[in-house]
Structure formats: C-alpha cells, structure tokens
Structure 1
Amino acid sequence: MSAWLHSIIRFLLIVIVVITVLPAFASAPDTIEKVKPAIVGIGTYNKLKTPRATLLGTGFVVSENLVATNAHVVPESLEVKGSSIVIFKSVGSKNQYQSATVIARDRIHDLALLKVQNLKLSPLALSTQKVREGEIYLYTGFPIGAVLGLHPATHRGMISSITPVAIPANNSKELTLEQVKQLKKNPYKVYQIDGTAYPGNSGSPVYDSETGNVVAVINKVLVKKTRESALTDPSAITYAIPVEHLRALINSQ
C-alpha cells in the first residue's frame, strides 16, 4: 500500500470517528446545565459544632421531595445530640440546607432515599435503556466534598465492563467479609467505568449526555472494597450501581 493511500485511509478513519463521537456530546453543555440544579450535597448539620456542616457525599432529586444517594453516605445513626441529616444546595451565590429524613435503605445495592419537604427542584428521569460496554456517560457530583465550595463537577467515563459485584478469591486468605457476604448471595452486576471518581462522588448520577436520563449511581467505596480489596492504592476504576435497583427501591414506597 502506497504512503499516499495509507494517508487517505487514515484521514477517512479520523473523519468517521469525529462524525460518530462528537454528535453524542454536542448537547452535553445543555444537558449538564439541566442536570446540575438537581444535584445536592448529602451531609449533617449541627449549629453547636465547628464546623457546623459536614458534606458526606452526593445525591440527586428523583421525584417530588425525594433524593437518592448511596446508603453508606447517610449515617445509620447520629451520635452527636442536635445533629440532623440535611441536603445542601447552592442557590445563586448562597449555600442552603434543608432537613432530610431517610425513608428507605437498600443495603444490598447500597442505595437510600431521603425525603425533603418543599424541595422545589426538578427531578432527573431514570433511564430504561440498555447500557452497553463501550458507551460513554457523564456523572456529576462533589468529588472532593466541599473543599472547593458547593459547586458540582462533571466528568465522563466509558462503560469498560459490566461485571459481578464480587469475584471469587484464589484462596480464603484473600476473602474479605464484604466478599463473603456478596458471594453467598447471587452477585448482581455493576458498571465499571474508566473515569476517576472520589468518595465525595458517592451517590452521583451517571447519565446520558443527550437526554440527561440516569442510568446508574456512582458507588466509590463499598463496591471497591468488595472487588478490589487487594489494592492498597486508589485506582482509576470507578463503579456504579445500575439504576434498575434504584427504581425498584422507589417503587417499593
């Protein structure tokens, strides 16, 4: 093959990639603008403590007065008297908080629902589309908590694998308590994403860049403990819980 023909083929391949990939993200700025108002912080508040507020993770509005997040983000109990579970949201240049009540937990899939009165935020739609390996999605949340202020950040990642939440170990010494619990059940599938998320991203929605429909919920902590217990250093691998489990939790109410 001549160098000239090789160059032509290479150019055409680049054009095909650009034509195929770019349209999928052409609407991303508008989608992010639509999604961000539904993103809230999840944490605790106590006017007698210093600092008064603690941001623990991310949540997003799923229906009127309902917010979804990871179960591990929300404390099982509040040990300090006067503390309450709250959601944080940014309104203009000011940060506001509202009291929230945990109305449902799904510990198996690490999901929780919080009820907030007079939320007045537009909910995100839950997708019914089939998620496939190789597809690219966005996720928005608070990757490093409130260090940089209550400003949600958006990242993107490809579905690199759809894999069981737990994998067998080579021997008993490699098994953790979390792995044993999951292996005793029928391990459900999780999405492995090649984008980096941090503990503050737990509870962030993973959504379609064109529609904003949510396909999964970021889970940075518990799934990683189950699958990657042998890793001592953070990896660039992120996991997400398929939205079908969140839909089931909402429908059970």
Structure 2
Amino acid sequence: MLTNWDWILFDADDTLFHFDAYAGLQRMFRRYDVDFTHDDYSAYQAVNKPLWVEYQNGAISALQLQHRRFVGWAEKLRVEPQELNSGFLGAMADICVPLVGAVNLLNALKEKVSMGIITNGFSALQQARLERTGFLDHFKFVVISEQVGVAKPHLAIFDHALTLMGNPPRERVMMVGDNPDSDILGGINAGFATCWLNADGREAPETIKPDWEVSSLAELQARLLPDYVDGK
C-alpha cells in the first residue's frame, strides 16, 4: 500500500491515452473521400475548443458539443452531424495507444492503491479504449461527465467520485491530469491532492497551484513508488 494515498484518480485523454484528434479526423474523413488538411484541422479547432470551454462551464451539454462541432462539415457532406461525431469517436478508439509509461505505472500501482478515472471525454470512446488497452481491470470505477451531467472542474463530478470511493478523507485522494483548468482546479476545489502532468513544459496558470508537477508518467511512478523494482 502507498503511505500517503488511499486513492489515485486519473484523467484519461493525454494523461493515460495519447489523444491525436488530427489523426482521428483524417481517418474518419477518408471514409467520405475528404483529404483533411492541417488548415481544416485549425478551422475545426477554432470551433471545437470554445465549445469545450462552454461544456466545462456547464453552458452546453455533451450532446450539443458533439453536434455543433460538426455542423459545418455535415452541411458540406450532406450527412447528419451525429454521423460524423460517431465516426470520429470510432476512429479515435481505433488509433488509441497508451501514453509512454502508462502501462508500467498502472501495473506498478495496481496492488498498492485503489484507482479510478474521472474524464470529460465521451462514454463510447472511453469504454472502448479501456477495453482495448487492457486497462479496465485496473480501475474501481470510471466517472464520465457525459453520464454524470456535469464536467470537470465542477465540484459535483468530484463529489460523485468521492461517493463511489466510499467517502475516504479527501486529503488521501490524489487527482492526476494534464489540464490545469479542469483536472487540477477541480481536484483542488474538491480538497484532493493534485498532480499536474505537464509533458509539454507549459507555464502554469498563476492561480492554480498543484501539489506535484511531473513531466512524464515515469516521473510520477518514481515519486509515488521510489523503491519499486521488478514488479515488487
């Protein structure tokens, strides 16, 4: 068992799984004979990113986000936006790979601490990726914002996870994630310890102070389990 933590909670996208949206969109659009370019991706993100902010702020639903980000392309291709969204999520599941260090970290922690996932991603994609990577058995639960009805950093999604954990002391729960505005801020507001996975060396927001900051999952493993050797 770990001395300081009863539970470690992970974000999913870009924390445990590599999330290459550009590759997923290219794969999906090939079915429609569309050569999806970097310029197309920039235009897509100009629509998608503000929608995610609205979603995290509770201004729109998951369904509205998934619909609105594909409206323009749906009109061009004369299909329904939901068809494109479903195709995109399927493509992302197909190309899913764990981040470097994720397999070693989860295997090292499996018998030493309880683990869960809290993600703002969508149900169909998360379940498929957990099954395909063999990660599903490592986690006691997966909390998905689409199912709970609120997204990180909203306190309610963390409180929901706390209930699933059996209400341990909040200070004995650590939240690990790559997004300071959703994972870290949400974890801080919930009273959890936090670890920011900052693989790109970004500058932290002045008002958000994680307990730990690591540049890789291997570094996180070394901090959590400094004496871990050969599966012991």
TM-based fold match above 0.5: no
Higher relative strand content:
1
TM-score category of the 2 structures, normalised to the smaller one = under 0.3
Question: In terms of Rg, which structure is larger?
Answer: 1
> Normalized against structure 1, the TM-score is what?
0.24
Higher relative helix content:
2
